[in-house]
Amino acid sequence: MGGVAFLFAGQGAQVPGMAADVQDAPKVRRLFDLAESIRPGVVDKMLRGTQEELNRTLLTQPTMFLADLAYAYVREEERGAPDCVCGFSVGEVPALCFAGVLSEADAFRTICKRAELMEAYTERVRGCMIAVVGLSPDAVESLCDGENTHPANYNGSKQTVVACSLAAEEAFCAKVKAAGGRAMKLRVSGMFHCPELQPEAEEFEKFLRGLTMNAPRMDVYANLTAQPYAGDFAYTLARQMCSPVRFTATVAAMKARGVEEFIEVGPGKVLTGLIQRG
């Protein structure tokens, strides 16, 4: 029998009412009560907020954390613990919490801190995320200038997401079209996983160094390395903010270790869809 991996969804998968179908599970209710004690109103916004409200980074990240972790708890209750986990961007924090690296309280405070830093960053640097479909990663890299445009998420053989400044958006989309690809702007509020975020990543690392991090109960594959977390966990998680998400390589590494079933925990089926398309 092949191995099982839980995939924790990332920013962009948020939808109104997410996790409403699992909110009454005892472990989920305790998680939501804890979150309310730290950030009052967050659960109500997750369950009843509008799409526009949920798309704001300051709210997207803590609500995605809660939804991802809630679904993971229920799936584990239904079928047992997975052999390994990975989280896509913001999903890496609930993945680490699920694996026991961070306590629920520390993990929720961590996601709130990450959201605050990235929300402030979106005011400092104006940008967006553009999914390029139909071109190889190498082709997309050749269209990026390393200043206004950066490869940010390696999602598959024919989909790469690019962090793009607002000033360069129109010209970049025109280059994608000329190269035979299709450009789609994503439902996020800034340009992430690029070098512009380095100051925020450094501040995030300082915050993380004040937390207790435990050995994981299962392998957690890191976006930064596409390998299980090892060594300096705080550095690895902080550098993820300003580095590309290596999802394709991560899936390949998990398959190489024997994973045959990928279960997405979170709203929607974005990540399993990427795996199916290859």
Residues 168-198: pLDDT tens digits? Answer: 999 999 999 999 999 999 878 789 999 999 9
The span from the CA of 175 to the CA of 121, in Å, is 27
What are the tens digits of pLDDT across the range 51-75? 999 988 899 999 999 999 999 999 9
Q: How much of the chain, in percent, has pLDDT values that exceed 70?
A: 99
Both structure tokens of 241:
């903010």
In whole numbers, what is the pLDDT of the chain averaged over residues?
Answer: 95
Decide if pLDDT at 139 tops 70.
yes
State which of 165, 185, 205 marks the end of a domain. Answer: 185
Dump strand ranges (E) for the chain: 3-8, 84-87, 127-133, 149-156, 159-165, 182-185, 219-221, 259-265
Examine the domain organization and report whether 32 and 8 are in the same domain.
yes
Among 129, 95, 125, CA closest to 111: 95
Q: Which of 153, 156, 7 is nearest to 86 (CA)?
A: 7
CA distance 110 to 122: 18
Same-domain status, 248 and 115: yes
Q: Which percentage of the chain shows pLDDT scores above 90?
A: 93
Token pair recorded at residue 128? 């967006």
The pLDDT, as a whole number, for residue 162 is 97
Look up the domain containing 263 and give its range: 3-124+194-277
Q: Are residues 27 and 165 in the same domain?
A: no
- Residues 29, 90 within the same domain: yes
Q: Quote the number of domains for the chain.
A: 2
What is the distance between the alpha carbons of residues 253 and 262, in angstroms, rounded to a whole number?
A: 13
The candidate with the shortest Cα–Cα distance to 159, out of 139, 188, 189, is 139
Q: Are residues 114 and 133 in the same domain?
A: no
Q: Which of 185, 214, 234 is the last residue in one of the domains?
A: 185
What is the residue whose two structure tokens read 């005892």? 26
Note whether 225 and 98 are same-domain residues: yes
Q: Please identify, among 135, 159, 185, the residue that sits at the C-terminal boundary of a domain.
A: 185
Distance CA 76, CA 61 (A): 22
Q: Are residues 89 and 175 in the same domain?
A: no
Are 270 and 213 in the same domain? yes
CATH of the domain at 162: 3.30.70.250
Instruction: Kindly report, residue by residue over 202-258, the tens digit of the pLDDT.
Output: 999 999 999 999 999 999 999 999 999 999 999 999 999 999 999 999 999 999 999
Could you tell me the CA-to-CA distances from 96 to 70, 172, 174 in Å, in that order?
14, 35, 39
The per-residue pLDDT for 195 is: 95
Q: Are both 254 and 181 inside the same structural domain?
A: no
Number of other CB atoms surrounding residue 162 within 10 Å: 29
Q: What is the pLDDT of residue 189?
A: 78
DSSP calls for 60-80? HHHHHHHHHHHHHHHHHHHH-
Confidence (pLDDT) at 251: 97
* Radius of gyration for the chain, computed over Cα atoms and rounded to the nearest angstrom: 18
Average pLDDT over every residue of 150-155: 96
Residues classed as catalytic: 89, 193
Closest C-alpha to 13, from 278, 264, 276, 277: 264
In a shared domain, residues 109 and 144: no
pLDDT for 1 equals 47
209 and 244 in a common domain: yes
Between residues 2 and 65, the one the model is more confident about: 65
pLDDT of residue 113 exceeding 70, the answer is yes
Q: Do 107 and 57 share a domain, yes or no?
A: yes
* Mean pLDDT, residues 24-31: 97
pLDDT over threshold 80, residue 278: no
We report the CATH number of the domain holding residue 49 as: 3.40.366.10
The stretch 99-119 carries a mean pLDDT of 97
